[in-house]
Structures are given as C-alpha cells and as structure tokens.
A and B are shown apart, each in its own frame.
Chain A
Amino acid sequence: MELLYFGDKGWGDELFFATLMTIAVSITAMIIGFLFAAIFTPLKLSNNKILNSIGNAYTTVIRGVPELLVIYLFFFGGSGAIMFVASIFGYNDYIEINAFLTGSFSIGIISGAYSTEVFRGALQSIDKGQFEAAKVLGFNRYIYFFKIILPQMLRLAIPNLSNVWQITLKDTSLISVTGLVEIMRQSYIAAGSTRDPLFFYSFAAVLYLMLTFLSMQLLNRLETKYNKGY
C-alpha cells in the first residue's frame, strides 16, 4: 500500500494524474470521433456512388485494421506529414507534435468509424414517415434536423454509443506506446522503477474497471432520460 502514497514516497499522485489523462484523451478522442462521424455518416447514406464508397472505405479500413497499426501510422507519420506541409511554406526545422494530439487524433479516427456505423444504423431505423411528415409540414432545415431527426436518432444511438465509449476508453491504453503518460504508461514507469509489475498492472486494471463502471452508470442514466417518451 505504501506504493500508492501521494507525494514523493509513492505513486498515488502520479497514477491519479495519469487517470485524469486517460479520461481527457478518451473524451477528446470521442469528440474527434463525432466530428469524423458527422462527416462520414452523410457520405455513407448518400446516393452518390463515389461519396458512398468513400464513406464505406473509411469504416471498412479502420475497423478492419488493428488499432495499434493506426497509432503507429500517425505516431511515425504524423510529424513527417506536418513537416512536409511546413516545408512547402519554407519552414525546414524539425517539428515534433504533441503526444496528446497524435494520440487523441488516432484514437479519434478509430472511434469515429464505430460512431459512424452507430449513427448510420440509428438514422436508418427512424421511421420514414417522420422524414416525410417533417418535409410536408414545411419545417426549415434547422428544425427538420435538430428538433425532429436528431432527438430520435440520439435515443436509438445512445445504447450503442456507450459501447463505442467503452471501446474508446480501452483503446487509449494503446497510446502508451507513443510515450503519452496515461494509466498504462505510468504503470509501466512505476513497475520499472519499483520492480513490482504485478501490483501496478493489477492496479491499472482496477482503475480501468472503475472508469468503465462509473461511465456505464452515467450513460445508463442518459439512456433512461432519452427513453422517457417510450
């Protein structure tokens, strides 16, 4: 237990901040994922063949390739790509991008592919009459989407989105390979310097279990809230 003391003696405070980092990365990745989903869901549902295949390619490739490989692509390729763009503008020094940004971006792309599928499924299972009725009644596009379609879509999407959240939360453990100090990386450091890997990795498992348990509790509440009318 001494190992978990706060301050210089133990690893309690380090692990606490690492947990906050995991939460921060997961939330950022989830938001980035929503942005990707907002772009790719309309593409997947579009009637245009080219746009449709772009949307399908995104979800198929990302969901068919291991997360770790995607992270390596952005970790090794990210700064190269940015340096290439910078060199066009005449800036030739080495640019290192923030591990937090690369991490959340790569996890965000992965989580975005899952979110896209969830939103697509939810949109497709809304009754057709709802779209038609909204159009017939002559609502403008804002009310049509935000007041009629979106609330119904969210109700159907939230149970599956909580699965996506779980996947995203667990995937953040993989960005420890890039050196970002979240739960896994901190446990690795602590295990290395105390030679007590069993304790620290088990403690990391407990931290993840706590995070998944608490977030499921919250999400279940959200689910009942959106299900009120049914």
Chain B
Amino acid sequence: MDIELMINSFPKLLNATLITLKLLSASLILGLFIGLGFAILRMNNNKFINKFAYGYSYIFRGTPLLVQIFIIYFGLGQIEYLRTTFLWIVLKEPYWCAIIAFSLNTGAYTSEILRSAFQTIKPGYLEAGRSLGIPSKIIFTKIQIPIAIKQSLPAYGNEIILMLKGTSLASTVTLMDLTGVAKYIISTTFKPVEVFIVAGGIYLFMTFIIHNVIKYLEKKYGFQT
C-alpha cells in the first residue's frame, strides 16, 4: 500500500470529480426533457408517432453507451455537410459530444420510466378531474405530472446512479473526468489498487449521497396513490 500516493492523488481526483458532476448534471437535465418528450409521444394514439418513440428508446437501450459516444464523437465529424454548419462548433468538442450522447441515452431510459409512471396512474384520478370540469392541460400539469414524479422517483434514482457510472465513458473520448484522471495516474505509477480505492471511494460517496437524497424525496412526497 502506497499511502503517500493515495494522499497525493486525492486532490487531483477531486478536481476531476467536478467535470464528472458537470457532465452528470448537464446530461440529466437535458435527458429529463428528452425523456418527458418521448414519454408523451409514447402515449400518443397515432401508431407512427408511438412506434417512432418506441424505436428511439429501443435503439438507445439496446446498444452500449460506448457505441453511442463513438458514433457522435468520431462518426458525425465525418459528414462534410455538418462541418459547415454551426453545429460543428458543438460537435468538435468532446465535452459536448459526451453530453449529447449521455442525454440521449438517459433520455431513452427516462422516457420508459416516465411512461410506466404515467400508465400506473389510476384512471379514477383523471375521471374525477374531468368530471370537475378541469381543463385537460391542468389535469396533465397539476394531477398527472406530480403523481408520475412520485411514482418514478425510485426508478429515476437508479437511473441517476447508472448515469453517474456512465459518465466514466467520457474518458474514452479524451475527457479528463474522474475515471480519466484515475486511469492516467494508474498508467504512470502502476499502482492500480491504491488509485482504485481513492477514485472508487469518491464514486461510492457520490452514489451514497444520491441514494439518500432520493430516499428523502420519496419520504417527502410519499403520499398514497
């Protein structure tokens, strides 16, 4: 055990954790909007729109995140046309490519979580709202969404943790996030166990916090449905 290396690498790894957290929060926020959009499309009665939303979530959940990042980072740059548009400013940065890939990926999972949450809402609530003459827009925002949020909290908590682990793939497209820096230290010092303990400890600490925040929210919003 090289305690000195562990102490020395701690600040470097903590610094890299900032990038991990930035990637995580950006992709979760974008992913939530994408997920909500596709969940609404999934509940549409039109067959094509429904199939399109299902195909989206099927493709993104059926392929590894690594493939998705590589297609966006290495693949899209190949299209000459894209290089001339303003999109290229975003797509040439590995940071933004990673965020796009992560948000599309987590969006697919989130849409499934939200869809099943919407579908478990008892029809009685909607009927009660309708018979009271509440407009359907308000039924959606004031009745369906709050219940769906409550229903989907446990599953969404898992998704946040999966995404936290997913951000480690950013290191494969040259980003120096927590895993990227850990790999760099391992490959220069050849002390994998020590670095693993420190970096793994930071990840575990973050999972612990996320887990407890979700638990607290579940309790707070835990009304009976």
Q: Taking beta carbons and an 8 Å cutoff, which residues of A are in contact with B?
A: 60-61, 63-69, 72-73, 76-77, 80, 166, 170-171, 173-174, 176-177, 184, 187-188, 191, 195-198, 201-202, 204-205, 208-209, 212-213
Contact = CB atoms under 8 A, between A and B. Distances in A.
Contacts of A197: 70-71, 74-75, 77-78
Contacts of A205: 59, 63, 67-68, 71
B145 interface: no
A174 B186 CA distance: 17
B221 to A, nearest CB: 25
Nearest to B75: A198
Interface string B148-183: 000000000000010011111101100000010011
A195 B203 CA distance: 36
Contacts, number: 113
B203 A65 contact: yes
- State the 10 A-B residue pairs at the shortest beta-carbon distance, nearest first: A66-B168, A198-B75, A77-B192, A173-B64, A197-B74, A64-B207, A76-B192, A170-B64, A66-B165, A212-B62
B87 interface: no
Contacts of B190: 76, 80
A110 to B, nearest CB: 10
B196 A72 contact: yes
A67 B62 contact: no
A208 B71 CA distance: 14
Contacts of B186: 72, 76
B198 to A, nearest CB: 11
Given A66-B203, A72-B192, A198 B67 contact: no
A57 to B, nearest CB: 10
A177 B207 contact: no
B63 A64 contact: no
B76 A64 contact: no
B203 A69 contact: yes
A191 B62 CA distance: 22
A173 B66 contact: yes
Given A65-B200, A66-B165, 12 more contacts: A65-B165, A66-B179, A66-B203, A68-B171, A68-B179, A69-B200, A170-B63, A171-B64, A173-B67, A184-B66, A188-B70, A205-B67
B180 to A, nearest CB: 9
Interface residues on B, range: 35 or more
A198 B79 contact: yes
Nearest to B161: A64
B204 interface: yes
Chain A CB within 10 Å, residue with most, of B168, B172, B199: B168
B7 interface: no
A41 B125 CA distance: 42
Contacts of B59: 205, 209
Contacts of B62: 166, 208-209, 212-213
A184 B74 contact: no
Contact of A65 (B66, B167, B187, B204): B204
Contacts of B199: 69
Contacts of B196: 69, 72-73, 77
Task: Give the interface centre of B167, B193, B208 by most chain A CB atoms within 10 Å.
Answer: B193
Given A176-B66, A191-B74, A201-B71, A68 B193 contact: no
B7 to A, nearest CB: 19
Contact of A201 (B74, B183, B200, B204): B74
